[in-house]
Amino acid sequence: MRLTRRIAVVSEELTNPYYPELVEPLRRRLAEHDLRTVVISDSEHRAVGVDVLADGSYDGVVLTTCERRSSLPRDLTERGIPHVLVNRVLDLAESPSCSVDNSGGTDAIADLLAGLGHRRVGAVLGPVSTSTGRERGAGLRLRGLRLPRELVRRSSFGHDSGRKAGRVLLEGSERPTAIVCGNDVIALGVLSAARQRGIRVPEELTVVGFDDIPMAGWPIVDLTTVHCDLEALASVAVELLLAGLAGPGLPPPVERRIAVSLVLRGTHGPVPG
């Protein structure tokens, strides 16, 4: 069989700062095995299909944008294309996958907010069609954190959508004292909405993110968030992909999780008053 030594990494547009931070360690790990990375942009306006990924141009595929019920992993399996899901899992495990411990992260957030006395908590979460969107919301509820329906919003994982959703929550007659965000980029949007309304963080509002992208640690942001080790995530993902490349046949649909930790910075505080 002809080998190309090329791996397709399906990513959202790199304008979302999370994805460059994930793609770069993937590229380095693949390069250590003499594999070249080809980034393919996937979006709601231009979805990547199996015909693009299985046309013989790539030896394997890394999927970072799959939704919970996507048929793309099954299509790749049927074509015999080695692949791995990164930062995503399927409802029905059909492919090797590697994600972070979303439940552990939401446990830590719930404990933090409960300890600070927050009872009226809002959330701006990612799309429920994604495993990250579903798991990070469900985990909060499982820990007993009451999330009134009127204080929960779903958005894409972007700044502008996070700002719009945050503005809706902050304009209500009984605004939340804390807002949990589905990722750091959404949290940046919520912080923007709070600043536009003159709401002080953390004196009047606690905001917590998820991922700990480098921007979250900038002094001007100083975001309290959940740290996800993207270097470890990339290493495990490439390990799983190499097992598929080694053959014969595709590996079983194992699921690996990477531990997370809470990073306490400057956007959390006790209930006002």
Q: Which domains, from first to last, does the chain contain?
A: 6-100+229-258 (3.40.50.2300), 102-227 (3.40.50.2300)
Residue 44 has pLDDT above 60, yes or no: no
Task: Report the candidate in 63, 132, 136, 82 with the shortest Cα–Cα distance to residue 106.
Answer: 136
Residue 249 has pLDDT above 90, yes or no: no
Token pair 């894409």 in the structure block, residue: 156
Q: Once rounded to an integer, what is the mean pLDDT over residues 65-91? A: 92
Q: What b/e string do you get for 187-215 counting C-beta neighbours within 10 Å, with b at 16 or more?
A: bbbbbbbbeeeebebbebbbbbbbbbbeb
Q: Once rounded to an integer, what is the mean pLDDT over residues 119-131? A: 91
Cis amide bond preceding 270, omega within 30:
no
Which comes out higher in pLDDT, residue 147 or 102? Answer: 102
pLDDT value of residue 206: 98
**pLDDT tens figures, 190-206:** 999 999 999 999 999 99
pLDDT-derived band of residue 2, with 50, 70 and 90 as boundaries?
A: low
Which comes out higher in pLDDT, residue 14 or 226? Answer: 226
Burial category of 222 from C-beta neighbours within 10 Å (exposed 0-12, middle 13-18, buried 19 and up): middle
Query: Which residues lie below 8 Å from residue 258, measured CB to CB, with a gap of 6+?
Result: 98, 99, 100, 101, 228, 229, 232, 233, 236
Q: Once rounded to an integer, what is the mean pLDDT over residues 28-57? A: 86
Residue 240 has pLDDT above 60, yes or no: yes
pLDDT value of residue 144: 62
pLDDT value of residue 149: 85
